[in-house]
Amino acid sequence: MASMRDIKRRRSSIQSTGQITRAMKLVSTVKLQKARGKAECTKAYSDYMYKTMRSILAHSEGIRHPYLQGGESGKKAVIVISSNRGLAGGYNSNVVKLITQGELAEAELELYTVGRKGRDGLARAGYTVRLDSSDISEEPTYADAAALARAALTSFTKGEVGEIWIAYTRFKNTVVHEPRLVKLLPLPKPEAEDGQDLPMNFEAEEESVLEALIPNYLTSLIYGGLLESCASENGARMQAMDSATSNAEDMIEDLTLLYNRARQNSITQELTEIIAGAQAIE
């Protein structure tokens, strides 16, 4: 059996780890609430953006535009959103897995990463990281998303990539986060919904309207993805830290039991020794 001192040392080390994880949990709970509020406000915008784009496309016939057809290049740009910090359970590795185990082939990908953990994981696996903007992952703003969208769109219009995808973590609720890989461009043309077969009109030239809409669309979806990932990250960290704290508590309980047993043992032994000593003198 381990000595009393060893057990005591071990217990106090676990105790302080538990304190850290408990504090981290509290911090991420607060952050989660903030991020979640923001994500929910933006959700309406990106949902409507997606819906409206689809309905515009469904109502307009015969628009030919590279944004709808896809580029010639076989390369695909993927915007990968992860976090800068670890200790968030499976959050980062799930996003990385989405890329490494997905249906997209490694050679044809060009990554635009947000978040150091995802970037490092994918770079180690041999992927090409075209652009890294990890510094925006903590508190993403609309302008950050716009810059990212511009970068991706520029290489799309130059013909360097033929498709744009996004890998992010959807925030379903506090405990359920779902990593997702979504194609942003070219837009799949939806079937016209029934009941609304009036053709869509455009005030300006159709092409120029699309030209103005697409960057908006891309930005808002990226922004939505960033915020949802941010909420998911904090949610995942909160969960991870919660289970770490309760594990620490369990271990402390076990160690306390062990410690008490060791203490009793040593008292009993001391007593036995004293009595034996006294008997020998008599």
- Please report, as ranges, the residues that interact with other proteins according to CB under 8 A: 41-42, 44-45, 48-49, 52, 55-56, 59, 142, 196, 198-204, 209, 212-213, 216, 220, 223
Is 123 or 213 the residue whose CB approaches other proteins more closely?
Answer: 213
Is 203 or 282 the residue whose CB approaches other proteins more closely?
Answer: 203
Is 16 or 196 the residue whose CB approaches other proteins more closely?
Answer: 196
Tokens of 5: 């001192």
**CA nearest to 169, candidates 83, 40, 42, 111:** 83
Closest approach of other proteins to the CB of residue 48, in Å: 5
Closest approach of other proteins to the CB of residue 110, in Å: 26
**Sheet strands side by side (includes 163-171):** 129-132, 109-114, 76-81, 163-171, 177-185
Cβ neighbourhood burial of 191 (10 Å; 0-12, 13-18, 19+): exposed
Angle between the N-to-C axes of helices 4-59 and 206-281, in degrees from 0 to 180, rounded to the nearest 10? 170
CA distance 276 to 259: 25
Is 4 or 58 the residue whose CB approaches other proteins more closely?
Answer: 58
Closest approach of other proteins to the CB of residue 218, in Å: 13
Taking the CA atoms of residue 103, residue 108, residue 114 and residue 115 in that order, the dihedral angle to the nearest 10 degrees is 70
Closest approach of other proteins to the CB of residue 62, in Å: 15
Is 49 or 240 the residue whose CB approaches other proteins more closely?
Answer: 49
Closest approach of other proteins to the CB of residue 139, in Å: 14
Is 175 or 204 the residue whose CB approaches other proteins more closely?
Answer: 204
Q: Phi, psi (5° rounding) for residue 184? A: -95, -45
DSSP labels, 69-132: H--S---EEEEEE--SS--STTHHHHHHHHHHSSSS-GGGEEEEEESHHHHHHHHHTT--EEEE
Closest approach of other proteins to the CB of residue 116, in Å: 25
